[in-house]
C-alpha cells in the first residue's frame, strides 16, 4: 500500500512537472521530459500492479470526444495520429459535451479518461472507470465521482464492449513490451478532452506552434497546478509516454 | 591526494599535498542574478587562459599573470582578460520559442598564432570567437587627423608614413564564424577535433560535424531520432572527440550507455564501433533508476586510453578496450540515494554535473551540493571532499576536508545530509591541463584553488 501511495504521489509530481514545463524559457527540454515520463511510467506500473489493480491490457489510443471542438482535432492532426474512428462511435454518455470545454481541466480530463480507461482497465477494476463512464455525469459531478474511489461493478458490462471497440487490435504478446516502452500514446490523447477545453480558449495558431516545436500538450491537460487528477481511472489511461516527445 | 605533474608531488605520500584557496571571482552579493550564474568553465590548452560562460550569454576570460619572481611561492593569479557578450536571447517565430542565451559550453581551439580562438554555444548556435590583443596603434595618417576626422584632400601638401605607437593593451573579441540553424534540439556538447579543422556539436538526438571554416554546411554523423517520436527511449547527453584519433568520438545517452564511433567506418555513425554499458544492479532498482543512470558528462583522459562518465550519484572510469563494465567507480554522494524522491520533487535529480581529469590522468574531480566538490585519486584510491565557500577564502588558506554525516551520531565538523544546501551546487569544474590549479564554479562565483607543496 505504501508503494501505491508513493507511486501515486510520484505520478502527480510528474504530471505537475510536465505541466510546468510548458512555460519554461528556452522551450521544452526533451531530455528532462523524457526522464519524467519514464518515472511516470514506472510509478504507474507499480501503482497498477499493486493488489487490486491488475495490469491492464495494452493501451488504446484515447480518442478525443466526438464533441471536440475543431481546435482539438487540429491539434490531433498536428501532434498525433487521429484516433480510430470507432472510439468516437463507441463513446457515449461519459464524454463531456463540447460546451464543457470550459470546465475545469481536471474534471474533463478524468471524465474523458474514464472512457479511455475503459479501454485500458482490467476487468477486476471497473470501479472508478465504470462509474465515471457509465454514469454520464455532467462535468461538475466528475471530480466527486472520481475521488470517491472504489465503485461498484455496475458499469463494467457496459464498459467491456466499449473497451473492446475502442481498443485497437492488441499487439501480440511479444510486442507488449514495445507498447509499454515504445509506442507512446501521448498524454494528450488521454487528456484529449481537457486539452481541447484549453484549446477552445486559445487561438489556433498559438496552439499549433507549441505542438510543432516544443510544448507538451498534456501538460496543459494536466490541469492547473493543484488540480492534477491522478485517480485510478486516470492512471489507467496514462500511457507510459508523455506527449512531450510527440510534440517534437 | 592528487599528484600533479608540476611541483614536487611525485613519489611522496598523499599527505604532502593540500589544496589552498587562491582567488574568487564574482559578486559576494547574496542575491544572485540568474544571468550571472556560471554555466561553463574551461581552461585553454596551455592553462594560461580560463574562460567562463554564464546564463546571461556572456563570456569572461581570465589570464594568468606571469609568475612574480619576488614571490616565488605564489603562482600567477588569474585576472580578467576579456569580457564579451557571446549570445543574445533570440526568438524562434515559427515555433513561438524563446532561445536562451545561456552559454552551454566553451571549447578552446589550440593556439596557432598570436590570437586565441574559442567556440561558444547556446542551445542552438555555435560561434567562433577570436580574441586578439592590440597594443599598438597607427598614428600619422594622411587622410584623417588624430581625431579621426577626414582631412580635406586639397589641404594635404605633404605625405607621411604612419608610424606605430604603443597604446594601452586592448583585448578585442570578435565573432569570426557563426554556425547556426543546424540543430532542432538543444545543443549539449561541442568538441574540437584533434585535426584542428573540424568539430562536432551534439543535441538531444543528433550529432553534426562541422569544418571550422564553413558555416553554411554541416554533416550529420549521428541521428537517433526515431521515425515515430513516440518510440523515443533515449537521448544523447554528451559527446566528445578522441584526443588523438581524429576519426573517433564517443557519445553518452540518457540510458547510461556510451557509444564509441569511428567516422571511417561509415558516413553516418548510427552504428557504433563500441558500446559501453554496465549491467544494472537489480537490487538498487527504484522509480528513479533510469534518471540517475543518465550520463551527464563524458570526458576522455588526456592519454586517450580511458574515458570518464558522470551520472547522478557516481563517476566511472572506463577502459576503451573493455565495454562491459567500468574499471573504476567512485561514489560522489551515495547518501543521496535514499533522498531521490525529494530530489526529484525539487528537480535536483536533473542536475547535470560535469567531471574532469587532472593533467596526468591520475585524479578526477566532480561537483556536488552544498558547494562541495570531490576529488578522487585513482592511484591511492583516496578521495576528498572540499568546499568552495567564502569562509575559507583567505589567501593561501588550506582547504579543510569536509565530511557528510550519513547517519548516527554527527561528529563535530560533519554536516548532516538534511542540512545540505541543494541550491548551492557545483556543476562545472575545470583542472589546469598541466598544473594543480582548479577552477570551481559555485553559482555566480568562480573559485580558483592551487596546490601547496609543503
Q: In whole angstroms, give the CA distance from residue B327 to residue B323.
A: 10
Mean pLDDT of B176-200: 97
Partner-chain contact B287 A10, CB within 8 Å: yes
User: In this complex, how many residue pairs, one in chain A and one in chain B, have their CB atoms less than 8 Å apart?
Assistant: 100
Mean pLDDT of B164-184: 95
Q: What is the pLDDT of residue B293?
A: 96
Per-residue pLDDT band for B410 (boundaries 50, 70, 90) equals confident
Partner-chain contact A241 B341, CB within 8 Å: no
The highest-confidence range among A181-185, B317-321, B450-454, by mean pLDDT, is B317-321
Mean pLDDT of B280-290: 87
Q: What is the pLDDT of residue B385?
A: 96
Per-residue pLDDT band for B29 (boundaries 50, 70, 90) equals confident
Per-residue pLDDT band for B204 (boundaries 50, 70, 90) equals very high
Report the DSSP pairing between strands B214-223 and B236-241.
unpaired
Closest CA–CA distance from residue A207 to any residue of chain B (Å): 10
ipTM of the complex: 0.88
Per-residue pLDDT band for A183 (boundaries 50, 70, 90) equals very low
Per-residue pLDDT band for A174 (boundaries 50, 70, 90) equals very low
The answer to whether residues B5 and B363 touch, using CB atoms and an 8 Å cutoff, is no
A218 or B111, greater pLDDT = B111
Partner-chain contact B291 A35, CB within 8 Å: yes
Share of chain A above pLDDT 70, in %: 20
Residue A245 has pLDDT above 60, yes or no: no
Per-residue pLDDT band for B395 (boundaries 50, 70, 90) equals confident
Mean pLDDT of B217-243: 95
Mean pLDDT of B76-105: 94
Q: In whole angstroms, give the CA distance from residue B327 to residue B2.
A: 19
Partner residues linked to B441 by β-bridges = B428, B446
Per-residue pLDDT band for B75 (boundaries 50, 70, 90) equals low
A109 or B432, greater pLDDT = B432
pTM: 0.72
Q: What is the pLDDT of residue B258?
A: 97
User: Mean pLDDT of all residues in chain A?
Assistant: 49
Partner-chain contact A35 B350, CB within 8 Å: yes
The answer to whether residues B387 and B399 touch, using CB atoms and an 8 Å cutoff, is yes
Residue B337 has pLDDT above 90, yes or no: yes
Partner-chain contact A39 B92, CB within 8 Å: no
Residue A85 has pLDDT above 70, yes or no: no
Q: What is the pLDDT of residue A52?
A: 52
Mean pLDDT of B361-369: 97
Which residue on chain B is closest to A44 by alpha carbon?
A: B287
Q: Residues B104-155: pLDDT tens digits?
A: 999 999 999 999 999 999 999 999 999 999 999 888 888 888 888 888 888 8
Partner-chain contact A27 B184, CB within 8 Å: no
Q: What is the pLDDT of residue A6?
A: 86
Mean pLDDT of A174-194: 37
Q: Is B184 in CB contact (< 8 Å) with chain A?
A: yes
Q: What is the pLDDT of residue A3?
A: 75
Q: Nearest by CB to B95, which of A9, A42, A214?
A: A214
| Secondary structure in 3-state letters for chain B | CCCCCCCCCCCCCHHHEEEEEEEEECCCCCCCCHHHCEEEEEECCCCCEEEEEECCCEEEEEEECCCCCCCCCCCCCEEEEEEEECCCCEEECCCCEEECCCCCEEEECCCCCCCEEEEEECCCCEEEEEEEEEEEEEECCCCECCCCCECCHHHCCCCCCCEEEEEEEEEEEEEEEEECCCCCCCCCEEEECCCCCEEEEECCCEEEEEECCEEEEEEEEEECCCCCHHHCCCCEEEEEECCCCCCEEEEEECCCCEEEEECCCCCCCCCCCEEECCCCCHHHCCCCHHHHHCCCEEEECCCCCEEEEECCCEEEEEECCCCCCCCEEEECCHHHHHHHHHHHHCCHHHCCCCEEECCCCCEEEEECECCEEEEEECCCCCEEEEECCCCCCCCCCECCCCEEECCCCCCCCEEEHHHCCCCCECCEEEECCCCCEEEEEECCEEEEEEEEEC
Which residue on chain A is closest to B231 by alpha carbon?
A: A182
Residues on chain A touching B254 (C-beta within 8 angstroms):
31, 34-35
Partner-chain contact A34 B234, CB within 8 Å: yes
Partner-chain contact A26 B99, CB within 8 Å: yes
Partner-chain contact A248 B345, CB within 8 Å: no
Residues on chain B touching A34 (C-beta within 8 angstroms):
232-235, 254
Those of residues 175-214 in A touching chain B at CB distance below 8 A are 181-186, 206, 209-210, 212-214
CB atoms within 10 A of CB B325: 13
Q: What is the pLDDT of residue B131?
A: 97
Residues on chain B touching A38 (C-beta within 8 angstroms):
290-291
Q: What is the pLDDT of residue A68?
A: 35
User: Mean pLDDT of all residues in chain B?
Assistant: 91
Q: Is A3 in CB contact (< 8 Å) with chain B?
A: no
Residue B250 has pLDDT above 90, yes or no: yes
Residues on chain A touching B290 (C-beta within 8 angstroms):
35, 38-39, 42
Per-residue pLDDT band for A96 (boundaries 50, 70, 90) equals very low
Partner-chain contact B232 A31, CB within 8 Å: no
Those of residues 17-36 in A touching chain B at CB distance below 8 A are 17, 25-27, 29-32, 34-35
Q: In whole angstroms, give the CA distance from residue B397 to residue B382.
A: 22
Residues on chain A touching B204 (C-beta within 8 angstroms):
30-31
Assigned C-alpha cell, B345: 520533487
Residue B371 has pLDDT above 90, yes or no: yes
Per-residue pLDDT band for A44 (boundaries 50, 70, 90) equals confident
Q: Residues A110-128: pLDDT tens digits?
A: 333 333 333 333 344 434 4
Q: In whole angstroms, give the CA distance from residue B129 to residue B325.
A: 39
Residues on chain A touching B186 (C-beta within 8 angstroms):
26-27, 29-31
The answer to whether the Cα torsion of B420, B421, B423, B427 is positive or negative is negative
Q: Residues B340-353: pLDDT tens digits?
A: 999 999 999 999 99
Residues on chain B touching A21 (C-beta within 8 angstroms):
none
CB atoms within 10 A of CB B251: 27
Q: What is the pLDDT of residue B312?
A: 98
Q: For A3-7, B164-168, B241-245, B328-332, which range has the lowest pLDDT when averaged over its residues? A: A3-7
B423 or A184, greater pLDDT = B423
Amino acid at each position: 500500500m505504501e508503494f501505491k501511495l508513493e507511486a501515486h504521489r510520484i505520478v502527480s509530481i510528474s504530471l505537475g512537472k510536465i505541466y510546468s514545463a510548458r512555460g519554461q524559457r528556452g522551450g521544452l527540454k526533451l531530455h528532462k521530459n523524457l526522464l519524467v515520463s519514464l518515472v511516470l511510467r514506472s510509478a504507474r506500473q507499480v501503482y497498477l500492479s499493486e493488489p487490486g489493480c491488475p495490469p491492464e491490457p495494452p493501451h488504446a489510443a484515447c480518442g478525443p470526444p466526438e464533441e471536440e471542438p475543431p481546435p482539438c482535432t487540429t491539434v490531433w492532426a498536428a501532434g498525433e495520429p487521429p484516433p480510430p474512428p470507432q472510439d468516437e462511435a463507441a463513446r457515449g454518455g461519459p464524454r463531456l459535451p463540447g460546451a464543457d470545454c470550459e470546465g475545469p481541466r481536471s474534471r474533463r480530463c478524468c471524465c474523458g479518461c474514464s472512457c479511455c480507461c475503459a479501454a485500458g482497465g482490467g476487468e477486476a477494476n471497473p470501479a472508478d472507470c465504470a462509474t465515471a463512464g457509465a454514469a454520464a455525469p455532467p462535468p461538475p459531478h466528475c471530480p466527486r465521482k472520481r475521488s470517491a474511489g472504489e465503485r461498484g461493478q455496475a458499469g463494467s458490462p457496459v464498459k467491456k464492449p466499449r473497451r473492446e471497440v475502442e481498443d485497437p487490435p492488441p499487439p501480440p504478446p511479444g510486442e507488449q513490451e514495445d507498447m509499454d516502452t515504445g509506442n507512446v500514446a501521448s498524454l494528450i490523447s488521454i487528456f484529449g478532452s481537457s486539452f481541447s477545453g484549453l484549446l477552445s480558449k486559445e487561438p489556433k495558431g498559438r496552439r499549433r506552434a507549441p505542438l510543432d516545436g516544443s510544448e507538451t500538450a498534456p501538460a496543459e491537460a494536466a490541469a492547473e497546478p493543484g488540480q492534477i487528477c491522478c485517480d485510478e481511472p486516470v492512471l489507467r489511461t496514462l500511457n507510459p509516454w508523455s506527449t512531450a516527445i510527440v510534440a517534437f | 591526494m592528487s599528484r600533479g605533474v608540476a611541483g614536487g608531488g611525485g613519489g611522496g605520500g598523499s599527505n604532502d599535498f593540500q589544496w589552498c584557496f587562491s582567488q574568487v571571482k564574482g559578486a559576494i552579493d547574496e542575491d544572485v542574478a540568474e544571468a550571472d550564474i556560471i554555466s561553463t568553465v574551461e581552461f585553454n590548452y596551455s592553462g594560461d587562459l580560463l574562460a567562463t560562460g554564464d546564463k546571461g550569454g556572456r563570456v569572461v576570460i581570465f589570464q594568468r599573470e606571469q609568475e612574480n619572481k619576488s614571490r616565488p611561492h605564489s603562482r600567477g593569479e588569474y585576472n580578467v582578460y576579456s569580457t564579451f557578450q557571446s549570445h543574445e536571447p533570440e526568438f524562434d517565430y515559427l515555433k513561438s520559442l524563446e532561445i536562451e542565451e545561456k552559454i552551454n559550453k566553451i571549447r578552446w581551439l589550440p593556439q596557432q598564432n598570436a590570437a586565441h580562438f574559442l567556440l561558444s554555444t547556446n542551445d542552438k548556435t555555435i560561434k567562433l570567437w577570436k580574441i586578439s590583443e592590440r597594443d599598438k596603434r597607427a598614428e600619422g595618417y594622411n587622410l584623417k587627423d588624430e581625431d579621426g576626422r577626414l582631412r580635406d584632400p586639397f589641404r594635404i601638401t605633404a605625405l607621411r608614413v604612419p608610424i606605430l605607437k604603443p597604446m594601452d593593451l586592448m583585448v578585442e573579441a570578435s565573432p569570426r564564424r557563426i554556425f547556426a540553424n543546424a540543430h532542432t534540439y538543444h545543443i549539449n556538447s561541442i568538441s574540437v577535433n584533434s585535426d584542428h579543422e573540424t568539430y562536432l556539436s551534439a543535441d538531444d538526438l543528433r550529432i553534426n560535424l562541422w569544418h571550422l571554416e564553413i558555416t553554411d554546411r554541416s554533416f550529420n554523423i549521428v541521428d537517433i531520432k526515431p521515425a515515430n517520436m513516440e518510440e523515443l527511449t533515449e537521448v544523447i547527453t554528451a559527446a566528445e572527440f578522441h584526443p588523438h584519433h581524429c576519426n573517433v568520438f564517443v557519445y553518452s545517452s540518457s540510458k547510461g550507455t556510451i557509444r564509441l564511433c569511428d567516422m571511417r567506418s561509415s558516413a553516418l555513425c548510427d552504428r557504433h564501433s563500441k558500446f559501453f554499458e554496465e549491467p544494472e544492479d537489480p537490487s538498487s532498482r527504484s522509480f528513479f533508476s533510469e534518471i540517475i543512470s543518465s550520463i551527464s558528462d563524458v570526458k576522455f583522459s588526456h592519454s586517450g586510453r580511458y574515458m570518464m562518465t558522470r551520472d547522478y550519484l557516481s563517476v566511472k572510469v572506463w577502459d576503451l578496450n573493455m565495454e562491459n563494465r567500468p574499471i573504476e567507480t567512485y561514489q560522489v554522494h551515495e547518501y543521496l540515494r535514499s533522498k531521490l524522491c525529494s530530489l526529484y520533487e525539487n528537480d535536483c535529480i536533473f542536475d547535470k554535473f560535469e567531471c574532469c581529469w587532472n593533467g596526468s590522468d591520475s585524479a578526477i574531480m566532480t561537483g556536488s551540493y552544498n558547494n562541495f566538490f570531490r576529488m578522487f585519486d585513482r592511484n591511492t584510491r583516496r578521495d576528498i571532499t572540499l568546499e568552495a565557500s567564502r569562509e575559507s577564502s583567505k589567501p593561501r588558506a588550506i582547504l579543510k576536508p569536509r565530511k557528510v554525516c550519513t547517519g548516527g551520531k554527527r561528529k563535530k565538523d560533519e554536516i548532516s545530509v538534511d542540512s545540505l544546501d541543494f541550491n548551492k551546487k557545483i556543476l562545472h569544474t575545470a583542472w589546469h591541463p598541466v598544473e594543480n590549479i582548479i577552477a570551481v564554479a559555485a553559482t555566480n562565483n568562480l573559485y580558483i584553488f592551487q596546490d601547496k607543496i609543503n
